[in-house]
Chains A and B, each alone.
Chain A
């Protein structure tokens, strides 16, 4: 029955809907959070892409943007916030620090990459990435969700 036309189209419609109605989580860590706010702002206006409902509680959100350096003291808290999010949930690792430690990788209290803490779907490079880069990451995530490449 899974091959029938009705089921596949419904599945596809669901995936399309999931991708186009992401609710991001207001979660700023460091410098990249300012660029994330710029992306929300009037010039870049990422509400155009259907992800403008920023939620303050992890239980309402399904997209976590890790924007900034992850320190060892913060990492367990990030894990806890991630565990509190309801499925489906996605993670964008924004910037060099969150992706690989960035300029702080030699430090004693910095986690080199948020992928050691939570599973990451999209990495964005740059220190900090421009808002355009973040918007591209969002578009990429939406496309991968719609085409079924990313499932959670």
Chain B
């Protein structure tokens, strides 16, 4: 007789990366069905954005994906600028691009460290955090904050790069690739890590597209789809970088994709430092006190490539200073939906590996 046991995983569990709950149905050790339950961090970002002025909604965007706050700000700011027909000076756009890439590195380092913890390796956590603290110190110097920045503004950025900040970035990009090599080798030389991740949590390309999965997960499943290449925004068409693609669609390929992305981001930051033009860092027409009086009308959605996948904010303006509707397209929300397919038929021990390979951040899933 077949006997199915229901196991509840979360919302408090060391490897849920926050407050995820999964209802798992088990037949022996095999997962028959896994249904994620979300909403434990639903903080009303969309409603609160509709209650305040356009620049005020930015603080809620910061707190969506709190490990990559600048990427979240970028999606909102680009949409709002389209909505208000605001021009941004070139220097501001280059600065934005560089900061976003640095934040992508920081985000992937958080993932790599916690992924190591989930797989039972403590060492990479400390190595990753050592590197991440260096990025955060750069942000601290330039934006004045460590984690949530509120740095991009409509028509530019809030403060220019400081000479000390530029030196710190230069020092970081020169030493980071070697150290990344070191971190990667800890994972790749581990027999146990390879055993636990190769061929685990597979997601076919058809399933990935049907479920709206984007970002590193889609690239690990074999589609070369990166919005920075395919639909460039900012100045991504003016820099050289590669998009890593693997076809296995398992946890190990996602690891390889993310590590390679960090390397490419370092390359982009290096090129931005060379090409950074002089000029204004914000549009002089829209001085800071002006921003609260700016009106938007129409609708716009600018897709950007966040570390988790396609991120964009669909903003509808009704001609007043307050947005009429703000809808956040959060990549983790769509990616997490595919977890039930990735888990079906695998063993319960593969659950932590698969869930952590999705890299869900719950500020963004639940909004």
Q: Do A and B interact directly, with beta carbons closer than 8 Å? A: yes
- A residues lining the B interface (CB < 8 Å): 26-31, 33-35, 37-38, 41-43, 56, 58, 68-69, 71, 73-74, 77, 81, 103-104, 106-110, 127-128, 130
| Apart from the given pairs A27-B12, A30-B66, A56-B13, 9 other A-B contacts in the complex at a CB distance below 8 Å | A31-B63, A34-B147, A38-B136, A42-B133, A43-B130, A43-B133, A74-B19, A77-B11, A130-B146
Please give the distance in Å from B289's CB to the nearest CB on chain A: 21
Contact assessment for B133 and A38 in the assembled complex, using a CB-CB cutoff below 8 Å: yes
A104-B48 contact given A29-B19, A34-B67, CB 8 Å threshold: yes
B30 within 8 A of A: no
Question: Which B residue's beta carbon lies closest to that of A74?
Answer: B40
A109-B44 contact given A30-B362, A73-B39, CB 8 Å threshold: yes
Kindly list chain B residues whose C-beta atoms are within 8 Å of the C-beta of A110. 43-44
A107-B44 contact given A74-B11, A77-B11, CB 8 Å threshold: yes
Q: In the complex, which of the residues B12, B47, B126 has the most CB atoms of chain A within 10 Å of its own CB atom?
A: B12
B51 within 8 A of A: yes
The 7 closest A-B pairs by CB, nearest first: A41-B129, A107-B44, A31-B66, A56-B14, A43-B133, A74-B40, A104-B43
- Of B47, B67, B148, B362, which one neighbours A127 at CB under 8 angstroms? B148
Please give the distance in Å from B220's CB to the nearest CB on chain A: 24
Q: In the complex, which of the residues B42, B60, B136 has the most CB atoms of chain A within 10 Å of its own CB atom?
A: B42
Interface of B, helix, strand, loop or mixed by DSSP: loop
B18 within 8 A of A: yes
Q: How many A-B residue pairs have CB under 8 A?
A: 94
Kindly list chain A residues whose C-beta atoms are within 8 Å of the C-beta of B11. 74, 77
B155 within 8 A of A: no
Kindly list chain B residues whose C-beta atoms are within 8 Å of the C-beta of A35. 146-147
Please give the distance in Å from B44's CB to the nearest CB on chain A: 4
A-B residue pairs in contact (CB < 8 Å), sample of 27: A28-B18, A30-B18, A30-B41, A30-B66, A30-B362, A30-B363, A31-B66, A31-B148, A35-B146, A38-B129, A41-B133, A56-B14, A71-B39, A71-B41, A74-B19, A74-B41, A77-B40, A103-B59, A104-B43, A106-B48, A106-B51, A107-B43, A107-B47, A109-B42, A109-B43, A110-B43, A128-B147
How far does the alpha carbon of A71 sit from the alpha carbon of B59 in the complex, in Å? 18
B110 within 8 A of A: yes
